[in-house]
Structure 1
């Protein structure tokens, strides 16, 4: 466990006996990570404000995935041959005892935890590919949250996967937020059978259900929350796409682990690889990283 620069990691257990890790930085920001799904369940600013949404009806009991925080959708995002959004988010991960070496600048003042997922025999029956998925969650001195994934093919044949960090941001009111950084991008609209469109607006605002994958975004994505006077910034590497989702009122009523009105307090903006799956040759490793930060805005 790291204790550099008064950054600390505390271990607790949830009610199912599964380990959780509380990362804290010297300024009082924190993040809570569970071995269940390798999922971030809380990210708080130094003022103690919760920045992630967790549904009041979330089920914290395996094998159900937890609705909120940052579920990791792997090896499939959305629907396909596997259960929706893949199986990584409802498996018990392990502590990684052989994490890749750290660059010393990187570890300075950061609290971090290294997790590892390997497929079980049952997983290999539904998705017959051997892999090691290493996940580092770190909280920087300035309060930014970083998630770095390294996925290695330890098979003797290639495999492909899609992936998303399905980040549920906590917002004041969905009608009051806007997203910038998606201008002119093509997107696949899941409400129109994945038809391809081009974003025409200079900011995305919400007045009905949105379920889109914006393609090949290279810059930062900013989520402006006027009422709370804060802006989330999403930066990413190795993840070309951005999924944007809000279920709105009708869909929310059909989601059992989401309150009927809770869609107003959440917005999912995911760093992802969706359109072109990532293919790994035997022995090859892929790295993808998301950095989340929050700024006070006027």
Structure 2
């Protein structure tokens, strides 16, 4: 994403929009005191301390297949342990381990353990509704560029590395099941020496993915397992397949917004959204505060998606336009986010749900 630097305090007449998560004992969810800036592309190279798998703890480095087209021993072992109806663990691109969810109706989703990233969601008989960028790499050296990447425990740049660390570590499978024909995968993320070197807190994150008929539901739970409080910000940086020239989003009218113009990036514009239908005629990088729990995305390809949320307080719309000329016409990002710091005391937890539903055909 492009450069945006902004720091301001919330007062009774204005909001500071965006994020740099505070350290412990910083603002709680009620304070809305924020600082947000985007200084590099979302999928820029990781810092030099984590740029090579050989330099990461073994728990961080994603497993590689023994052969280019083979199945890793780890994938085989995990499939024996967790594989069930509609849930299969396999080797994916680059030998990274993925979990494939398959519905009885022919729907399908793919989730990579590296980054805990959902990279594909197809309704029965349909094309992929998510988008993975052509410059995405599956090496375990940098985050996967596309799908539903995690930003945790920080959205954007700030006191730790860009967008936190959850998108560039391997998550564990906590459980799988198939309840009434809905394959379900629960992933877990806990501290490691690597995470503690960046963010020295004890925590537990679970990410539940449920594949339904024309629906993909996720639930994220963050728990403070430390003896001291901590604060965090987070988002699902969701990439949707689209024809950007025909794409639109509805549901944000009246929300507070911060818009970064392509022509004048140094001067973001703060205001209120007055459009019923938001289109993408060029560069779009806009954050919305206190958003409603339902947005509708018309992807311009004949499909409408309902994006419902519980617990996600904010949203981000992004299309890089000519800053990513190779693929900007083929996707938009509509992101559920928590942009003001959430402070958790020991033993407390925070939960947010997202439900993507395929609506009626436009054409």
**The TM-score by the shorter chain falls in which range?**
0.7 to 0.9
Which residue of 1 is the match for residue 60 of structure 2?
Answer: none
Q: Does residue 215 of structure 2 align to residue 177 of structure 1?
A: no
Which residue of 2 is the match for residue 199 of structure 1?
Answer: 273
Q: Which of 79, 89, 92 does residue 170 from structure 2 map onto?
A: 92
**Deviation, structure 1 residue 17:** 3.7
Work out whether residues 86 and 102 of structure 2, in 8 Å CA contact, stay in contact via their aligned partners in 1: yes
Distance in 2, matches of 1:138 and 1:2, equals 15
Number of residue-to-residue matches in the alignment = 277
Distance in 2, matches of 1:111 and 1:143, equals 13
Which residue of 2 is the match for residue 232 of structure 1?
Answer: 305
Q: Which of 199, 212, 219 does residue 127 from structure 1 map onto?
A: 199
- With over 3 angstroms needed to count, the CA separation of the structure-2 counterparts of 1:94 and 1:219, relative to structure 1, is closer
Work out whether residues 187 and 215 of structure 1, in 8 Å CA contact, stay in contact via their aligned partners in 2: yes
Question: Structure 2: where are the runs of 5+ without partners?
Answer: 1-81
SS across alignment from 1:176: coil
**Deviation, structure 1 residue 45:** 1.4
Distance in 2, matches of 1:155 and 1:209, equals 41
SS across alignment from 1:244: strand
Alignment of 1:153-168 (within 5 A): 153-168=224-239
Distance in 1, matches of 2:352 and 2:333, equals 18
SS across alignment from 2:197: helix
SS across alignment from 1:174: coil
**Deviation, structure 1 residue 201:** 1.1
TM-score by length of 2: 0.73
Work out whether residues 30 and 143 of structure 1, in 8 Å CA contact, stay in contact via their aligned partners in 2: no
Distance in 2, matches of 1:152 and 1:13, equals 30
Work out whether residues 252 and 292 of structure 2, in 8 Å CA contact, stay in contact via their aligned partners in 1: no
Q: Does residue 258 of structure 2 align to residue 188 of structure 1?
A: yes
Q: Which of 71, 76, 83 does residue 161 from structure 2 map onto?
A: 83
- With over 3 angstroms needed to count, the CA separation of the structure-2 counterparts of 1:15 and 1:179, relative to structure 1, is closer
**Deviation, structure 1 residue 167:** 0.7
Question: Structure 1: where are the runs of 5+ without partners?
Answer: 253-259
Which residue of 2 is the match for residue 148 of structure 1?
Answer: 219
SS across alignment from 1:47: coil
TM-score by length of 1: 0.88
Q: Does residue 277 of structure 2 align to residue 212 of structure 1?
A: no
Which residue of 2 is the match for residue 108 of structure 1?
Answer: 180
Work out whether residues 107 and 122 of structure 2, in 8 Å CA contact, stay in contact via their aligned partners in 1: yes
Deviations 1:52-104 (A, max 9, x none): 1111121111121111111011111111122211110110011115x9xx9xx
Work out whether residues 25 and 143 of structure 1, in 8 Å CA contact, stay in contact via their aligned partners in 2: no
Deviations 1:190-247 (A, max 9, x none): 5466653110111111112111111111231001134x22101100011010111100
Work out whether residues 293 and 310 of structure 2, in 8 Å CA contact, stay in contact via their aligned partners in 1: no
SS across alignment from 2:245: helix
Runs ≥4 residues deviating over 6 A: none
Which residue of 2 is the match for residue 255 of structure 1?
Answer: none
**Deviation, structure 1 residue 15:** 4.6
